[in-house]
Chain A
Amino acid sequence: MAVKVQIPTPMRPHTGNLPTVDVSAATAGEALRELCKLHPAMEQRLFDNGQLRRFVNIFINDEDIRYLENLDTKIKDSDDLAIIPAVAGG
């Protein structure tokens, strides 16, 4: 499945300043791994010992994957996946 991964502005130095990165993946986790393959600097920023870091939230078409199936959440063709910093609001 073709997915567009949205990169938050302050993280774009790690994706060669790309605001979105196109990958092909069947699940949210796979999409992030593909992103990290293309832009290895993202790996340690998103993951800590294979776990998504505490202050990173992942949304597929505006739905938080924690309310779906986390990194196993299935992706449909042309879905949007957004990486959103969790330190906001209140």
Chain B
Amino acid sequence: MSTSFVRGMKCRLCAKIYPVTPVNFCQDDFGPLEIDYDYDAIRAVLSKEKLEARSFNMWRYQELLPTDGEPTVGLHVGGTPLVKACRLGQALGFNNLWVKNDAVNFPTLSFKDRVVAVALSKAKEFGLTTVGCASTGNLANSVASIAASAGLKSFIFIPADLEKAKVLGTSVYGAQVIGVKGTYDEVNRLCTQVAFKYGWGFVNINLRPFYAEGSKSMGFEIAEQLGWRTPAQVVVPMAGGALIGKISKGFHELHRIGLLHDAPTTKFFGAQASGCSPISTAVKNGWDSHRPVRKPNTICKSLAIGDPADGYFAGKLIRESGGWAEDVSDDEIRDAMILLAQTEGIFAETAGGVTVAAAMKLLQQGKMDADAETVLCITGNGLKTSEAMANKVPEPVVIGTSLQEFEAIHQGHREPALA
């Protein structure tokens, strides 16, 4: 099956068209380049029946992704559960709530596997042998893992103070991990210089137009899992601000190729941590563009990008869709992580806490509608940020092996159904 419906890359500012190469910005105005598809041709070949017969992973939407041939890496990414979240809904006050659970995405337990699967398939098509990224943690895990499985060499740049599990979960794959003494934005600036000097494929720099497309698959899956319709409200955690825009783009593309009957009217709600909230602050103040945050300070390190590349577009989408944005404190993040775990049995990382806490706040403010169908995007796994839970959950009670010792700490409460 030949699958390329890509016409080229188009500047999001001036619409100039470029051939498909590993470059991320327009040479006339530095504007971001985005993949341009032939939607009419896709519409002609892709039907629900055809799509539903394929395996449930992100590549079932292959025609809407920018690989030339069959994907070669990350073949099992995506296809995560959309969970009806009645107990969490009750706790928060939402009457029709879903959780899209990318905390169990394969292989590295965050939505970043979606972007990396596309970026590294593309890196292989370009004939690149060394890849890399600037990462707040999850991307590091994903690039290291998928590069290893593809036989690519990887250089992963991270702020030196990341969570232990995120560092270990990168080094274990044999990646060259470089901890940089600085903020994510400083790491990112360094990587931009490295990427162009050495010509390596940095997934979120020179491969960024392809990388970003991978996030659309989260939107495709949500719409399909709801029975080929879009939810009224979506809450998305924001770092660089790409994911939120790509979920929206995914919805619109499904409509454009005829797989959704109604044009999407979803309101987009963005979530950030108060210790690094350039986008939500811009939305709340009615600013056109964000003001960069020089020194982020939050337990949610995965979202700690002070100068988001897609900040402008994320803010615009939020406003134009009729949504809003909010940011939450570290304590609100921790409490929300526990609430999600104890109502839905989903242990999300700090970014999940940000999403749940922001949803609660937005509902209380009347910015969200309790009765409208709502999807919370949970994008990463709690085992990677266990430090954030220190002292928040009780230590186990330790006893000897006798029944008496158990009964010394536990009185009463036999299972009534069997009494």
Footprint of B on A, CB under 8 Å?
Answer: 6, 8-11, 13-14, 44-45, 48, 53-57, 59, 62, 64, 66-67, 82, 84-90
Contacts and interface: CB of A to CB of B under 8 A. Distances in A.
Nearest to B26: A55
Contacts of B25: 10, 55, 85, 87
**Size bracket, chain B contacts:** 35 or more
Interface string B33-56: 100000000000000000000000
Contacts of B186: 62
Given A45-B28, A89-B309, A54 B289 contact: yes
Contacts of B24: 85, 87-88
B23 interface: yes
B340 to A, nearest CB: 24
Contact of B308 (A11, A45, A57, A90): A90
Interface string B186-197: 101101110011
A89 B188 contact: yes
The residue in B27, B185, B202, B240 that gathers the most chain A C-beta atoms within 10 A of its C-beta is B27
B189 A54 contact: no
The secondary-structure label for the interface of chain A is mixed
Contacts, number: 95
Given A45-B29, A55-B25, A56-B30, A90 B189 contact: no
Interface of B: 13, 23-25, 27-33, 134, 184-186, 188-189, 191-193, 196-197, 202, 204-205, 208, 239-242, 289, 292, 294, 305, 307-310, 312
A53 B208 CA distance: 20
A85 to B, nearest CB: 4
A87 B309 contact: yes
B206 to A, nearest CB: 9
Contact of A59 (B184, B189, B242): B189
22 contacts: A9-B196, A9-B197, A10-B23, A44-B28, A53-B29, A54-B312, A57-B189, A62-B186, A66-B292, A84-B189, A85-B192, A86-B309, A88-B24, A88-B188, A88-B191, A88-B204, A88-B208, A89-B184, A89-B185, A90-B204, A90-B208, A90-B239
Given A62-B189, A84-B189, 5 more contacts: A6-B193, A9-B197, A10-B27, A88-B192, A90-B239
Given A9-B197, A54-B312, A82-B193, A89 B28 contact: no
A37 B285 CA distance: 38
Given A10-B27, A45-B29, A57-B189, A86 B239 contact: no
A90 B124 CA distance: 21
A90 B30 contact: no
Contacts of A54: 13, 30-31, 289, 312
